[in-house]
């Protein structure tokens, strides 16, 4: 069942029409037409912001309220970038990726707490199978044991594609709809590629449009025990599901197509990893440990990203902290630490987004009890495409209220 937003149908609403025009002007300013003078650009943003404030947001249809919130977010970031030079660059980066002001010290503390929690879960899992094993020794062995890696690029692709096939078979248990747009799992061949473990390239347009999950061509950089969680994150029900379903089912205005709301997109990707148990993907203790390893990776990001940018950590200290808590290959750890220096704040959005989604789900499960349907919940999360987390909270709470007051059939 297609869930089209109300962008087209609401054009008779004067406020909706004004919002549409403001968004088009914003898109021009944010693109090639932006003034060279930062003060002039800030002035244009402020004019747009003031006009946006004249709109009765609560009187807009739901889809247009979402557009309002996305535009409000990005205009706010534009103004802060130009007019608050005293704001530390790192705090600005956090706003850009999470949509809200963040306290680096609170993020650092949250990261330490999550690392401790996940370390306890890892230790409990290992103890069930080997009471004498120590976590540090186990992680070190997993990083170097040849059995933890595919012997070739082709073998790695076979494992990944088999995981994707198992996931797709089980998706109807958790989702009403599966995107028609296909995806392929590939390696970049002999072309120069980023050193990341994996990444997702969204579908383009046309009859043969498809998404691509691209794995690092070096099998030693993609441990097999993390592969199940990795495919859940990058393909189904993670990035490919979210992007392909939005393209097929949601009438997102063109100006929003190029906007990356990191906290939503990557928060969903990390949440998707947690669904592997319900989908029957984690069938082996090492696969479950791989899930915990990737979640630990995202928790460590809170510690290391804030450490590097707010607490005078050195890259060496960040690297050591990573190595002590995960079984990631050393080369991947080096890539991670370098990444945080190049793109501050981006890495913390994963865990923050996932936590917000988990909190929404817990709230819905508690409020609706036996009437809670995980498939309905997942549809609600995506019905307007990527949105700020405060807006998603509002959407989910409105759905909960509607479910509570709906007549019984």
What is the tens place of the pLDDT at every residue in 142-156? 888 999 999 999 999
Give CA–CA dist 381/261, Å, rounded.
14
Whether pTM exceeds 0.75: yes
Q: What is the pLDDT of residue 35?
A: 64
Sign of the torsion angle spanned by Cα atoms 250, 256, 259, 262: negative
Cα angle: 323, vertex 328, 329; to 5 degrees: 95
Which ranges of the chain have pLDDT less than 70? 1-12, 31-36, 83-86, 189-194, 204-208, 407-409
What tens digit of pLDDT does each residue of 4-26 get?
444 544 456 889 999 999 998 88
For residue 43, what pLDDT is reported?
83
Name the burial class of residue 178, with classes exposed (0-12), middle (13-18) and buried (19+) by CB atoms within 10 angstroms of its CB: middle
**Mind giving me the DSSP string for 306-325?**
HHHHHS---HHHHHHHHHHH
Q: How far apart are CA 187 and CA 333, in angstroms?
A: 20
Q: Kindly list the domain boundaries of the chain, sorted by start residue.
A: 1-86, 104-350
- The whole-angstrom separation of Cα 62 and Cα 39 is 34
DSSP-derived pairing of the beta strands 211-215 and 198-201: antiparallel
45 contact partners, CB below 8 Å, separation of at least 6: 29, 75, 78, 79, 82
Beta bridge partners of 201: 212
pLDDT of residue 4: 46
| Strands 183-186 and 211-215, bridge-based pairing | parallel
């Amino acid at each position: 069942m297609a869930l089209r937003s109300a962008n087209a149908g609401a054009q008779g609403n004067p406020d909706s029409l004004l919002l549409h025009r403001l968004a088009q002007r914003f898109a021009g300013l944010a693109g090639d037409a932006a003034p060279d003078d930062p003060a002039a650009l800030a002035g244009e943003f402020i004019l747009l912001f003031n006009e946006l404030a004249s709109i009765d947001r609560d009187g807009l249809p739901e889809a247009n309220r979402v557009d309002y919130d996305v535009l409000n977010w990005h205009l706010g970031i534009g103004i802060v970038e130009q007019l608050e030079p005293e704001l530390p660059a790192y705090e600005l980066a956090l706003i850009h990726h999470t949509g809200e002001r963040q306290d680096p010290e609170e993020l650092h503390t949250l990261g330490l707490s999550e690392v401790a929690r996940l370390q306890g879960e890892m230790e409990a899992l290992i103890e069930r199978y080997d009471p004498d094993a120590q976590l540090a020794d186990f992680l070190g062995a997993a990083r170097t044991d040849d059995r933890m890696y595919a012997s070739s690029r082709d073998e790695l692709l076979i494992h990944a594609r088999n995981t994707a096939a198992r996931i797709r078979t089980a998706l109807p248990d958790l989702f009403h709809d599966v995107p028609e747009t296909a995806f392929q799992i590939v390696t970049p061949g002999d072309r120069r590629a980023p050193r990341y473990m994996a990444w997702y390239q969204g579908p383009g347009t046309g009859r043969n449009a498809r998404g691509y999950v691209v794995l690092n061509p070096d099998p030693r950089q993609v441990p097999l025990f993390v592969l199940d969680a990795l495919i859940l994150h990058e393909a189904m029900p993670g990035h490919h599901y979210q992007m392909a379903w939005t393209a097929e089912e949601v009438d997102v205005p063109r100006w929003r197509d190029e906007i990356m709301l990191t906290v939503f997109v990557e928060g969903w990707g990390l949440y998707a990893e947690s669904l592997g148990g319900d989908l029957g993907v984690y069938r082996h203790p090492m696969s479950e440990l791989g899930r915990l390893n990737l979640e630990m990776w995202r928790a460590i990001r809170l510690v290391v990203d804030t450490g590097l940018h707010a607490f005078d950590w050195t890259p060496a200290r960040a690297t050591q902290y990573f190595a002590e808590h995960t079984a990631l290959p050393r080369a991947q750890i080096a890539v991670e630490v370098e990444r945080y220096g190049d793109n501050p704040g981006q890495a913390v959005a994963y865990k923050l987004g996932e936590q917000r989604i988990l909190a929404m789900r817990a709230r819905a499960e508690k409020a609706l009890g036996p009437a809670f349907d995980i498939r309905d919940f997942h549809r609600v999360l995506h019905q307007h495409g990527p949105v700020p987390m405060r807006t998603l909270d509002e959407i989910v709470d409105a759905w909960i209220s509607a479910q509570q007051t709906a007549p019984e059939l």
